[in-house]
Amino acid sequence: MNFSPDALLTALVPLPASEAVVIALSGGMDSVTLAHALCRLRDAERLPFSIKALHIHHGLDIDADAWADFCERFCQVHAIPLRQVQVTIPAAGVEARGGPEDAARRARYRAFADELLAGEVLLLAHHLDDQIETHLLRLMRGAGAAALSGMPRCRPLAAGHLFRPLLQFSREQLHAYASECDLDWVEDSSNRDARFDRNFLRQRVLPLLGERWPNYRDSWSKSLQLLQESGRLASELAAADLSAVATENRAVLSLSQLMDLSAYRRRNVLRFWLEGLGLKGLGWNRLQQLDRQLSASASDSQLRVDGEGYQLRRYRQALWALPAIQEIDRTARLDWDILAGDTLMLPQNGRLIAARGAGGGISAQFATSLQVRYRQGGEACQLLGRPGKSLKKILQEYGMPPWQRDRVPLLYCAEELAAIPGVGVAEKYAASAANPGYIVTWSEMQD
């Protein structure tokens, strides 16, 4: 299929309903071609939405100002409202993963998200060749089926959506349209530098494929669609499996149910679970390691796998996804007068919250002279209505996970353990049924 305004109109059929679309206009051939075809449809009154453009000025290239000027002139000629946004690429980011191009891409998408209004759709001019290049680059990194399926045609972005209407068209088809319409565009000189992986594929690898297999793009496009279908099937299976292994706490999975699944389905549902929690996946090697560890021992409470900003821990036949746990000063002592403030912030350890109530909790007569300490070893307590026991035994019987036992804040009155927040109050310090008291809870969440 050749590219034309009519072909574009067909490609826009799945576009989310919107009163306005925003063209990500770089000034290159792809985005200029998309903008021009949209203008022809608009001028023929064939679009149900208005169009505007957004240009991101990275400032990385010496010609960046000229590109911005070109986009401004183009939009003036074609009566497209244009917004230009200049982004700063931190020097550290340039040297970070992926180099300056990847740092610029991340900054660009942050700007897209910031600028997109509720209900708007951002149009990106990625085409079939871009999709194939992305597939090959991800293949070189050992990506899974979902990533190998390429860039999604549509996905949510901030308050709106991102949509790629040109994924079925080749660079050659877009160039033919641009040449026929005598369009001007800007050329990025860095696109000729074969030291960059994408340029190497574009200049050397794909032309060789085209010589041997002239229609390889059609076949590749079909394979990408099949990979997308496989990814959707895997997600649907993972959603069904997650409902079987989930608990009331969405950050905790039942291991007895999880281990009933095959290894393939376990890894599939684990990926899906982490994604649903907004956590970055573990990657193939570490996911395999986790699965082996889960299979090796049914009672290893020391199992710990670190992700990016989180930990996976095992306890009592459950797998927990926890925020990365920061070290605390276990020698710290914090004085607390509940009457002066019912919330006490704990350095690196959340906060304590006191709620007043009739009966239960710490008696009000002790509420002004409490001190927060941490477990040192050898502590004991007689909780209300129970025999005296060691703190270690109390926490085990309560079912507190091992990683919380050294972090749970303990409330002391003078030199006696008066209360364990969330667990119980020592009989000597408990409020009677007829007297007011304070029920203290511990929230691990950091502000």
| Pair 342, 439: CB distance under 8 Å | no
Question: How far is residue 195's CA from residue 118's CA, in Å, rounded to a whole number?
Answer: 40
By the 10 Å C-beta count (0-12 exposed, 13-18 middle, 19+ buried), 158 is classed as middle
Which CATH number fits the domain 5-212, given the four candidates 3.40.50.620, 3.40.50.970, 2.130.10.10, 3.30.1450.10? 3.40.50.620
Q: Mark 336-345 as b/e (b = at least 16 C-beta within 10 Å).
A: bebeeeeebe
Q: Can you tell me the mean pLDDT for 342-351?
A: 91
SS3 label, residue 330: coil
Distances (CA, A) of 419 to 58, 338, 380: 57, 14, 11
Question: How far is residue 425's CA from residue 70's CA, in Å, rounded to a whole number?
Answer: 72
Percent of the chain with pLDDT over 70: 94
Q: Which residues contact 168 (CB under 8 A, 6 or more apart)?
A: 1, 11, 128, 221
SS3 label, residue 72: helix
- Give per-residue pLDDT as tens, 122-138: 999 999 999 999 999 99
Which CATH number fits the domain 223-323, given the four candidates 1.20.59.20, 3.40.50.2020, 1.10.1200.10, 2.60.40.790? 1.20.59.20
Question: How far is residue 320's CA from residue 254's CA, in Å, rounded to a whole number?
Answer: 9
By the 10 Å C-beta count (0-12 exposed, 13-18 middle, 19+ buried), 258 is classed as buried
A 10 A CB-CB count for 293 gives 16
Tell me how far apart the terminal alpha carbons of the chain are, to the nearest angstrom.
54
Percent of the chain with pLDDT over 90: 60
Which residues are registered as beta bridge partners of 348? none
DSSP-assigned states of every residue in 190-234? GGG-TTSHHHHIIIIIHHHHHHH-TTHHHHHHHHHHHHHHHHHHH
Give, in degrees to the nearest 5, the angle at Cα 128 between 122 and 131: 75
Torsion angle of the four alpha carbons 157, 322, 92, 122, in this order, in degrees rounded to the nearest 10: 0
**Closest by alpha carbon to 221, among 337, 290, 160, 134?**
134
Question: How far is residue 427's CA from residue 383's CA, in Å, rounded to a whole number?
Answer: 5
Residue 384 pLDDT level (bands cut at 50, 70, 90):
confident
Question: How far is residue 251's CA from residue 273's CA, in Å, rounded to a whole number?
Answer: 8
Q: Can you tell me the mean pLDDT for 421-442?
A: 88
Question: How far is residue 224's CA from residue 218's CA, in Å, rounded to a whole number?
Answer: 10
Q: Which residue has the higher pLDDT, 252 or 302?
A: 252
Q: Would you list the domain boundaries of the chain?
A: 5-212, 223-323, 334-443
The answer to which of 54-58, 130-134, 163-167, 400-404 has the lowest mean pLDDT is 400-404
Q: Which residue has the tokens 């309560």?
A: 398
| Pair 31, 23: CB distance under 8 Å | yes
- Give per-residue pLDDT as tens, 411-426: 999 899 999 998 999 9
> pTM for the complete prediction?
0.73
pLDDT of residue 321 exceeding 70, the answer is yes
| Pair 25, 75: CB distance under 8 Å | yes
DSSP single-letter state for residue 289: H
A 10 A CB-CB count for 329 gives 10
DSSP single-letter state for residue 428: G
Question: Which pLDDT score, from 0 to 100, does residue 436 have?
Answer: 80
Q: Which residue has the higher pLDDT, 145 or 407?
A: 407
- Give per-residue pLDDT as tens, 28-87: 999 999 999 999 999 999 999 999 999 998 766 777 889 999 999 999 999 999 999 988
